[in-house]
Structure 1
Amino acid sequence: MEVNLKIGINYRGTPQELHGCINDAKNVQQFLINNWNYKAEDIVLLTDDATNPRQIPTRQNIIEAMHWLVNGAHPHDSLFFHYSGHGGQVKDKDGDELDGFDENLPYRYHTDGRAKGSQVTASHRKEKSTPADVISWSGCKDSQTSADTWEAGVATGAMSFAFMSCLRTNPHQSYQDLLRSIRNILHDRYSQKPQLSSSHPIDTGLQFIM
């Protein structure tokens, strides 16, 4: 089984407005359908331009969509989660984070730029670990930001653009080669350095799968 959850938030009308996140989520959806044989009925898309209230990335909808993503999963299933939007940190309240902070996904900012009360934090997780192999691609180091940019006159995220461009050129790369290809595309124009991480040791020489 292959299921996918994508979230794109542009924060329209706020000082923190972005431009390419909704496009990112929609472009990744079409990329998976056209190139990786994902089925539209196995994909959930949440964007803040949606007209259906169930498809707007509110806290409740995000958490329910995450439950949908993992419920019913079995060994060897492939679960894909894509997020384009702001990220941040809040003080850890239950003492389970070594750095003293929980990560959060702000889904709405007030007019003064505050995200308080409008975020999904890691502290809402009931389970802190999983026996599954979790592989994460990030647009930058934790100390950096991932660029919201324009390519061919279209707003997009730099990481998403590079990721899909590399796989369209060569879908049979190893994890290591794909990371190198993505970094090479971004190197001359952006300061961000994309990262590959995993919950368990993996052989990065193996062919990338999704």
Structure 2
Amino acid sequence: MEATSKCRRYRKSVLSPTNTSMNGCYASKNISSFLSNGEAKVSCRCCKEECHCLLPSRTVSSHFSNSTLEQHSSKQECGICRPVKKFGTRLLMLGKTGGSNKNENLLSASLSHSMPSSSAFPSTGRYNKRAVLCGVSYRKKFRLRGIINDIRNMKELLIKNFDFPNECIRILTEHEQNANLIPTKHNIMESLRWLVKDCEPGDSLVFYFSGHGSQQPDFKEDEIDGFDETLCPVDYLIEGMIIDNEINSTIVWPLKKGVTLHAIVDACHSGTILDLLFVYNQESGMWEDNKPPSKEPIRKHSSGGLAICLSACEDNQTASDSSVFGKGMNGVLTYLFTKTIREYPGITYGRLLQNMHEEIKKINRSRCNNLICQPIFNRKIPQDPLLSSSEKFDVSRKKFTL
């Protein structure tokens, strides 16, 4: 099977080629006007509304000439209107044909069989295991095709291998019928708050995300590389991205002593997406300090609990969806993670990370290494899974468990 991971539509990133800013409106190029402060007005032919997108001057100057701006008319759909459209209090996925009742019913019927639905408000009973599984397909220019397989694999792993109650797993995808489970920025943040609410010693919490990731300039000076890592909800063009600082303060700060949180993030530039204090260096076998260089004290630690993050790649790398495994499209990290856990119960964190690194190297070695062939087929998977934590531990001894 051929890996299509480096094709633009399969790369889990919405980065501009220049890496100047990650807040630009890259899905909708219908710029009707451009303001001096870097804000562009984009009109949508569906909702007839204008959304304001921040575009950096370097991006605008390099991508939009004056003649280009003058030629654009208000005929294109905005990046979010097409994948998600509001109907009263409901949110429904739309295709190119619009929102007739007939099309809505047909689409609802087809989606209801494609993904098991989860309750927006799980049972009020007290469980010591909770999980939020979030998958975003985007369905347009940056569409990802392996999201549903990723969510299914993760849900099955939690239930069968780690005894998570089904009612304590909250799933957010565009295929959900409940408006509270569409992966908008608001719904994702609400679900993260639900995940850690009233956590108690002995709780095991899981946050899983499969979708696009990005970066944007760090204005608080709390990042070593000068960039904040971000996750892209389905409405990121309108509501913005979810920044690593927000994720850290929402699900890391509240962790009490005795509570363990695992985050598995299958997205580009996700290495330090939880802003945890320590990053494990696979080559040296040592934990590296990830404390912020800012002069002002910025909190990145928990309230005594343990937070561990397994990311698809380093901050400066891209993650991939691929068909190379012969199981349809899958996120590379998600597939290798679930496969390794199933095959090696009780595996240590160190061995888990090493196995995934070795599998990716095997795939890359089996691809075409010819200098002429490689740029044409783009088969190499350019990612190195990364482990980070709120505290150091012995990765060669500590067994992975959820």
TM-score with structure 2 length normalisation?
0.48
| Residues 153/48 of structure 1: CA separation in 2 closer, same or farther (3 Å cut) | same
Q: Is 1:148 aligned to 2:321, yes or no?
A: yes
- What SS does the aligned partner of 2:306 have? coil
User: What's the counterpart of residue 158 of structure 1?
Assistant: 332
Q: Is 1:187 aligned to 2:337, yes or no?
A: no
User: What's the counterpart of residue 35 of structure 1?
Assistant: 161
How far off its partner does 1:76 sit?
Answer: 2.6
What is the CA–CA distance in structure 2 between the aligned matches of 1:61 and 1:177, rounded to whole Å?
35
Q: Is 1:207 aligned to 2:399, yes or no?
A: yes
Per-residue CA deviation, residues 129-167 of structure 1 (Å, 9 max, x unaligned), is 313211111111222111101232422101111111111
| Residues 142/96 of structure 1: CA separation in 2 closer, same or farther (3 Å cut) | closer
| Residues 173/77 of structure 1: CA separation in 2 closer, same or farther (3 Å cut) | same
* Pairing partner for 1:10 from 109, 112, 137: 137
User: What's the counterpart of residue 351 of structure 2?
Assistant: 177
Per-residue CA deviation, residues 5-48 of structure 1 (Å, 9 max, x unaligned), is 11101110x21111112321222011110111011111111012
What is the CA–CA distance in structure 2 between the aligned matches of 1:55 and 1:176, rounded to whole Å?
34
User: What's the counterpart of residue 119 of structure 1?
Assistant: 241
Q: Which has the higher contact order (CA 8 A, sep 6+)?
A: 1
- What SS does the aligned partner of 2:194 have? helix
Report the aligned-residue RMSD.
Answer: 2.0
User: What's the counterpart of residue 234 of structure 2?
Assistant: 108
- What SS does the aligned partner of 2:239 have? coil
- What SS does the aligned partner of 2:191 have? helix
Aligned residues of 1:105 and 1:120 also touching (Cα < 8 A): yes
Aligned residues of 1:135 and 1:199 also touching (Cα < 8 A): yes
| Residues 116/101 of structure 1: CA separation in 2 closer, same or farther (3 Å cut) | farther
85-94 or 44-53, larger mean C-alpha shift: 85-94
Aligned residues of 1:8 and 1:23 also touching (Cα < 8 A): no
What is the CA–CA distance in structure 1 between the aligned matches of 2:386 and 2:217, rounded to whole Å?
24
TM-score with structure 1 length normalisation?
0.88
How far off its partner does 1:209 sit?
Answer: 1.3
What is the CA–CA distance in structure 1 between the aligned matches of 2:202 and 2:394, rounded to whole Å?
17
What is the CA–CA distance in structure 1 between the aligned matches of 2:167 and 2:357, rounded to whole Å?
33
Map 1:10-159 → 2, pairs under 5 A: 10-12=137-139, 14-108=140-234, 115=237, 117-124=239-246, 125=249, 128-130=300-302, 131-150=304-323, 151-159=325-333
- What SS does the aligned partner of 2:387 have? strand
Aligned letter for 1:201?
K
Aligned letter for 2:318?
T
Instruction: List gaps (5 residues or longer) in structure 2.
Output: 1-127, 254-299, 364-380
What is the CA–CA distance in structure 1 between the aligned matches of 2:308 and 2:141, rounded to whole Å?
32
Aligned letter for 1:137?
L
Aligned residues of 2:301 and 2:390 also touching (Cα < 8 A): no
Aligned residues of 1:92 and 1:123 also touching (Cα < 8 A): no
* Count of residue pairs brought into register by the alignment: 205
Aligned residues of 1:22 and 1:84 also touching (Cα < 8 A): no
Give the structure with higher Rg (CA).
Answer: 2
How far off its partner does 1:196 sit?
Answer: 1.4
Instruction: List gaps (5 residues or longer) in structure 1.
Output: none
How far off its partner does 1:85 sit?
Answer: 0.5
What is the CA–CA distance in structure 1 between the aligned matches of 2:239 and 2:166, rounded to whole Å?
32
What is the CA–CA distance in structure 1 between the aligned matches of 2:358 and 2:149, rounded to whole Å?
23
What is the CA–CA distance in structure 1 between the aligned matches of 2:174 and 2:221, rounded to whole Å?
32
89-98 or 24-33, larger mean C-alpha shift: 89-98
How far off its partner does 1:56 sit?
Answer: 0.5
| Residues 197/2 of structure 1: CA separation in 2 closer, same or farther (3 Å cut) | same
User: What's the counterpart of residue 168 of structure 1?
Assistant: 342
